[in-house]
Amino acid sequence: MEAEDPSERRFVITFGCPDRVGIVARIASFLAELGGWIVEAAYHTDPDTGWFFTRQEVRADSLPYDVEELRSLFSPVAASLGAGSDADGGVEGSQWRIADTGDRRRMVLLVSKEGHCLYDLLGRVAGGELNVDVPAVIGNHESLGGITEAFGIDFHHVPFPKDADGKAAAFERVRAIVDEHDPDAIVLARFMQILPPELCQAWAGRAVNIHHSFLPSFVGARPYHQAHSRGVKLIGATCHYVTAELDAGPIIEQDVIRVDHSDTVADMVRRGRDIEKVVLARGLRWHLEHRVLVHAGRTVVF
Amino acid sequence: MEAEDPSERRFVITFGCPDRVGIVARIASFLAELGGWIVEAAYHTDPDTGWFFTRQEVRADSLPYDVEELRSLFSPVAASLGAGSDADGGVEGSQWRIADTGDRRRMVLLVSKEGHCLYDLLGRVAGGELNVDVPAVIGNHESLGGITEAFGIDFHHVPFPKDADGKAAAFERVRAIVDEHDPDAIVLARFMQILPPELCQAWAGRAVNIHHSFLPSFVGARPYHQAHSRGVKLIGATCHYVTAELDAGPIIEQDVIRVDHSDTVADMVRRGRDIEKVVLARGLRWHLEHRVLVHAGRTVVF
Amino acid sequence: MEAEDPSERRFVITFGCPDRVGIVARIASFLAELGGWIVEAAYHTDPDTGWFFTRQEVRADSLPYDVEELRSLFSPVAASLGAGSDADGGVEGSQWRIADTGDRRRMVLLVSKEGHCLYDLLGRVAGGELNVDVPAVIGNHESLGGITEAFGIDFHHVPFPKDADGKAAAFERVRAIVDEHDPDAIVLARFMQILPPELCQAWAGRAVNIHHSFLPSFVGARPYHQAHSRGVKLIGATCHYVTAELDAGPIIEQDVIRVDHSDTVADMVRRGRDIEKVVLARGLRWHLEHRVLVHAGRTVVF
Amino acid sequence: MEAEDPSERRFVITFGCPDRVGIVARIASFLAELGGWIVEAAYHTDPDTGWFFTRQEVRADSLPYDVEELRSLFSPVAASLGAGSDADGGVEGSQWRIADTGDRRRMVLLVSKEGHCLYDLLGRVAGGELNVDVPAVIGNHESLGGITEAFGIDFHHVPFPKDADGKAAAFERVRAIVDEHDPDAIVLARFMQILPPELCQAWAGRAVNIHHSFLPSFVGARPYHQAHSRGVKLIGATCHYVTAELDAGPIIEQDVIRVDHSDTVADMVRRGRDIEKVVLARGLRWHLEHRVLVHAGRTVVF
């Protein structure tokens, strides 16, 4: 929706490199000389790592270039500042990207039986709030197929057997379906299976999970049971990138909700859903808008 | 302040026993027959443990008894419902108490160098918000003595040597000063020493600590450093009863505040103070108002 | 869902009367004598109005009566305490009710073009979180018909002309559709029409609205524009009962979300939806669970 | 405290002008050419007004100039971008400033009887959290003199008679005491007198008030009574610049806390203090750090 008005089309530059004097001037001058109209700009220097980060949104109609041309022009600037491009296999955080918001983004959702995150995301897509295509939803149960198809989206049922071989085969099918669409985001929307390391690797920086606790508290299974047992007064949810270590990936967004002694585990499960939904939606939106940079296991969210 | 108007004086009954039919009726009828005017009543049944809890505030001027007489009258009612009194050494949660808000409560504060919780609590006492006497503040550094004395409160400087013997002797001095006042609350207001098991035992149910993280995340030392390193998006504070296991006692209150990538550890330390202060003050207030019941390692806060 | 396990069926007593000694004892003894097992009980006395309120949940299987019989038995108790029943046309707040959670509740939704509250509520119903039937959704635009029907629910398109006569006729059609189902809740889920006084009257205590501001700030049209213009740092939503005075009915629930100078009106509209959805869902749930008592223009939410 | 380490000394540039291509490049190049090391930079463009804002922190030890020299050098840059300096009497928002954090800031506090904001601010100053001198506290009652002097700060008791002439004379005394110190902030820390228009004018952009409601709800007197009467579910506080129109100045910060039906007005007054204190402290900190820019009656808080 947002990208339909041509004046709303943006080039989004994200950039990280070791901090030094003159980076802002170098990038800003590069854009000013081309006539680029910056509509949003954010900067951050991490004093611990000595790393500099920026994200800039430029009106596409203020530049006489397409995104490929802009990348070519920017490449020597980035190189002179010590930032490698994605294509160079630059190390995490020492990279740059230029995205064109006119390019449709795609996401694939992985679900199980709990439908609240799925409903919520599909509602946001249908209402135009999340400007992204959803070419496929994959479920390890059939139960969410009906509502998915009611939104006009293909649903793939991939059952997950308990045995290792069956599970590996199931993940191969999931991978095939996902990779066919080359999505910008693979969303584990309360998908109750742990991704194998090779998928964590293959989808690094694109696989987004919602965990139903305030990490690092209550890693792993049944976090609401753990929370109830400990007697905490707030429960939470965490949206994070998936990495090979369980529930330990870079955190994109978190939020909490107050509980008290009268809340049973079932109450926590029910009430926690409202936090899970909104935390996932916020984190996912920022990911899709290229607002999230990862460095040293933490995120910068511009 | 609150207790100065005689019509504001209350008897506060707290009570826990195994759940069964008729408990509410039994207690309410007991009070009604005496003419007791209930101004606040709360009930809770824990479906996991099958335990029943209640707290009732009765206008003292509606009953022709003092608190000792009321305790004598209530004792057989409690016994018939299976609740032992404190004096019986009843097990945790299976106890009852009747407090008289006309009795002045006392608290002793244990501090180190960080003064924000001390300032905050003394300000609340001075302003009449916390209706409690503070006969002593004990510091393992001298630095907070001046402000304590400016509020007209005795300050005891008890240095803590690094060696085990010296530390044990220091704790003996602390214990002597505290026990002399037989306080309703011993508050570890950012006291940076770990209480030895015998003090945890002696002060069970009265020693209240503020920990500067959202427990169970970041137990132990330097929780803001831990939080920064993990890249969480909210930091918190936890007010809990002190038990022998570090930072694992029953949680009375917690709260959080949002942080982002631009917050350094120093920023977290500074911003976290605002949460520490308010979480400690809330938890302490509830403790002093007999609103907190402990059962199975968790609290019921009425 | 909740009511499907027979042991989960409850009788819910709500009750209000002038405060005096012995009310709790009278009601609790009445239930205890019948063998009623209270699973949840809450009390409140309003010191300003001198009014007493209670809500009690009793296990239905602990009593040898159906709800009609229980009402008959309770009626003299209530009368002796000065509380009229709904059937007596008792004044607001001086009433009692006994509900049977085994009776299916029904709600009808009124919508316009904005679908986020509709999606959210239908998702909660489909997922079993809101235990209520939705026999009809009425829209003054067609656009939300498709998704409504995808959830298997009848959609009624009732266009609203601009002229007074046409609008009155449209409201007559809405009223006919609503009243046919005699719903427990009529939910204005971002319905952009102002109910005429006679419908406010006819649906008093059942019509629940979500207003997209933190009332009493920004009554009426375009509250996000008003909020942006004033430069507030938090925006909110309010769930309230509909009364004849616009946006002035008793408030059931409110919440807020932080905004800053970078949020445009469009950002506020988008971000505010997440608060509108959850505030409406919470308020509606409490209404359907008979947790909301109204007295003197304010609500008691047990 | 912060400014004591020379490497921590900063020049803080704040700047606003009509938006156009190249502003960021112009300012960044200016700094880069001098060798200025930017440690924090923030930008904002308001699409409604077409105005551009920035705030930049530069390490003082990266530049071979003092603040006066830097101002002289920057002046033609600012003029070329259409921004007037304060000295030019530039219109609100179309101004620039360069502050030196090595210059001690000063604030004067105006109080009445309620001490919680005073205690809180003095505690923050004493603890080194707020890096500012407090040369004077002025009270229209004597009651807060003792604690003020315990912190080593001069207290001036200026009684306010009820009659207009007496009140005008009292304000003249207040003005004389304040102006003698030429403070960076005049803080109305629950000062219960309304500033006359000429003082609002004289102290424009420096007089900071804390109002005990979530503005624009509950302007004027007794906001907690108003909130209780309306039955809101959250109460709040607002820190804003003082202007001639009561409680209508640009909002710097707001926050809220949840209340329910059991909270009396006295409870709201007590609980609201925790929000008032923290909202005032946050807003005041941002003001003193030159983070707040005002334009079109709203604030940009960097």
Residue-by-residue pLDDT tens, chain D, 302 positions: 444 577 799 999 999 999 998 999 999 999 999 999 999 999 999 988 899 999 999 999 999 999 999 999 999 999 999 886 654 444 455 689 999 999 999 999 999 999 999 999 999 999 899 999 999 999 999 999 998 998 999 999 999 999 999 999 999 999 999 999 999 999 999 998 999 999 999 999 999 999 999 999 999 999 999 999 999 999 999 999 999 998 999 999 999 999 999 999 999 999 999 999 999 999 999 999 999 999 999 999 99
Specify the pLDDT at position B4. 58
Map out the domains of chain C with their CATH numbers: 2-100 (3.30.70.260), 106-301 (3.40.50.170)
Query: Which residue in the list D133, D154, D165, D247 is annotated as catalytic?
Result: D247
**What does each C-alpha distance from A261 to A269, B48, B158, B295, B302 come to in angstroms?**
14, 11, 38, 11, 9
Residue of A39, A118, A129 to mutate, interface with C, max C Cβ within 10 Å: A129
Residue of D2, D114, D141, D277 to mutate, interface with B, max B Cβ within 10 Å: D277
Q: Rounded to whole angstroms, how far apart are CA atoms B18 and B78?
A: 12
User: Is residue B266 within 8 angstroms of chain D, CB to CB?
Assistant: no
* D10: closest CA of chain B, how far (Å): 17
* A119: closest CA of chain C, how far (Å): 6
% of chain A exceeding 90 in pLDDT: 88
Q: Which tokens go with C25?
A: 């004892």
% of chain C exceeding 90 in pLDDT: 87
Give the DSSP letter of residue A22.
T
Beta carbons of B119 and D129 less than 8 Å apart: no
Residues C156 and C108: beta-carbon distance below 8 Å? no
pLDDT for A41 beyond 70: yes
Nearest-by-CA chain B residue for C54: B41
Q: pLDDT band at residue A92, thresholds of 50, 70 and 90?
A: low
Specify the pLDDT at position B103. 94
Q: What is the per-residue pLDDT across A119-157, written as a single tens digit (0 to 9) for each?
A: 999 999 998 999 999 999 999 999 999 989 989 999 999
Specify the pLDDT at position D18. 92
Q: For helices B223-230 and B265-288, give the axis angle rounded to 10 degrees.
A: 120
Q: Hey, which chains touch C, using 3+ CB pairs under 8 Å?
A: A, B, D
Q: pLDDT band at residue A87, thresholds of 50, 70 and 90?
A: very low
Q: pLDDT band at residue A243, thresholds of 50, 70 and 90?
A: very high
Q: What is the per-residue pLDDT across A189-209, written as a single tens digit (0 to 9) for each?
A: 999 899 999 999 999 999 999
Which chain D residues have a beta carbon less than 8 Å from that of C215?
217, 230, 232
User: Is residue A101 within 8 angstroms of chain B, CB to CB?
Assistant: no
Beta carbons of D127 and B115 less than 8 Å apart: yes
Q: Rounded to whole angstroms, how far apart are CA atoms C134 and A180?
A: 39
* A31: closest CA of chain D, how far (Å): 8
Nearest to A254 among B232, B251, B261 (CB): B232
Q: Rounded to whole angstroms, how far apart are CA atoms B273 and B236?
A: 10
Nearest-by-CA chain B residue for A296: B229
User: Is residue B264 within 8 angstroms of chain C, CB to CB?
Assistant: no
Specify the pLDDT at position B10. 97
Q: Rounded to whole angstroms, how far apart are CA atoms C74 and C92?
A: 19
* C225: closest CA of chain B, how far (Å): 26
pLDDT for A98 beyond 50: yes
CB pairs under 8 A, 24+ apart, for C99-103? C99/C11, C99/C12, C99/C14, C99/C67, C99/C290, C100/C9, C100/C10, C100/C11, C100/C12, C100/C60, C100/C66, C100/C67, C101/C2, C101/C3, C101/C8, C101/C9, C101/C10, C101/C11, C101/C12, C101/C60, C102/C3, C102/C9, C102/C60, C103/C67
Nearest-by-CA chain B residue for D151: B147
Tell me the torsion sign for CA atoms C140, C146, C151, C153: positive
User: Is residue A294 within 8 angstroms of chain B, CB to CB?
Assistant: no
* A108: closest CA of chain D, how far (Å): 34
Q: Rounded to whole angstroms, how far apart are CA atoms A63 and A65?
A: 5
Beta carbons of B147 and D126 less than 8 Å apart: yes
Specify the pLDDT at position C4. 58
Q: How many residues are given for chain C?
A: 302
Q: pLDDT band at residue B205, thresholds of 50, 70 and 90?
A: very high
**Catalytic residue set of B:** 247
Give the DSSP letter of residue A140.
S
Active site residue D88: no
Give the DSSP letter of residue C5.
S
Nearest-by-CA chain B residue for A229: B298
Please tell me whether residue C145 adopts helix, strand or coil conformation: helix
**What does each C-alpha distance from A166 to A158, B133, C144, C203, C292 come to in angstroms?**
11, 68, 42, 57, 51
Q: What is the per-residue pLDDT across B18-47, written as a single tens digit (0 to 9) for each?
A: 999 899 999 999 999 999 999 999 999 998
Q: Rounded to whole angstroms, how far apart are CA atoms D133 and D135?
A: 6
Residues 107-166 of C with CB under 8 A from D: none
Query: Which residue in the list A103, A165, A179, A247 is annotated as catalytic?
Result: A247
* A249: closest CA of chain B, how far (Å): 9
Residues D294 and D286: beta-carbon distance below 8 Å? no
Q: Rounded to whole angstroms, how far apart are CA atoms B178 and B201?
A: 14
Q: Rounded to whole angstroms, how far apart are CA atoms A58 and A41?
A: 9
Specify the pLDDT at position B48. 87
Specify the pLDDT at position C87. 47
Q: Which tokens go with A137?
A: 């939803």
ipTM: 0.93
Specify the pLDDT at position C91. 43
**What does each C-alpha distance from D147 to C109, C231, C279 come to in angstroms?**
58, 36, 43
For residue D34, give the nearest of A17, A50, A25 by alpha carbon: A25
User: Is residue A64 within 8 angstroms of chain B, CB to CB?
Assistant: no
For residue D202, give the nearest of D223, D183, D217, D228 by alpha carbon: D183
Specify the pLDDT at position D301. 97
At position C297, the amino acid (one-letter code) is G
What backbone torsions phi and psi does residue B239 show, to the nearest 5 degrees? -100, 125
Q: Dihedral through CA D262, CA D264, CA D266, CA D269, nearest 10?
A: 80
Beta carbons of A233 and B256 less than 8 Å apart: no
pLDDT for B3 beyond 90: no
Cβ-based contacts under 8 A for chains C and D: 74
pLDDT for B132 beyond 90: yes
Residues C239 and C282: beta-carbon distance below 8 Å? yes
Who's near D246: CB < 8 A, 6+ residues apart?
Answer: D194, D219, D220
Nearest to B123 among D119, D129, D262 (CB): D119
Q: Rounded to whole angstroms, how far apart are CA atoms B205 and B243?
A: 9
H or E element that contains B147: helix B145-150
Q: Rounded to whole angstroms, how far apart are CA atoms A216 and A98?
A: 33
Q: Which tokens go with A107?
A: 């996401």
Beta carbons of C28 and B25 less than 8 Å apart: yes
Beta carbons of B251 and A261 less than 8 Å apart: no
Beta carbons of C250 and D231 less than 8 Å apart: yes
Specify the pLDDT at position A4. 59
User: Is residue B234 within 8 angstroms of chain A, CB to CB?
Assistant: yes
pLDDT, tens digit only, all 302 positions of chain C:
444 577 799 999 999 999 998 899 999 999 999 999 999 999 999 988 899 999 999 999 999 999 999 999 999 999 999 886 654 444 455 689 999 999 999 999 999 999 999 999 999 999 899 999 999 999 999 999 998 998 999 999 999 999 999 999 999 999 999 999 999 999 999 998 999 999 999 999 999 999 999 999 999 999 999 999 999 999 999 999 999 998 999 999 999 999 999 999 999 999 999 999 999 999 999 999 999 999 989 999 99
> How confident is the model over B133-145, as a mean pLDDT?
97
Q: Hey, which chains touch D, using 3+ CB pairs under 8 Å?
A: A, B, C
Beta carbons of A274 and C278 less than 8 Å apart: yes
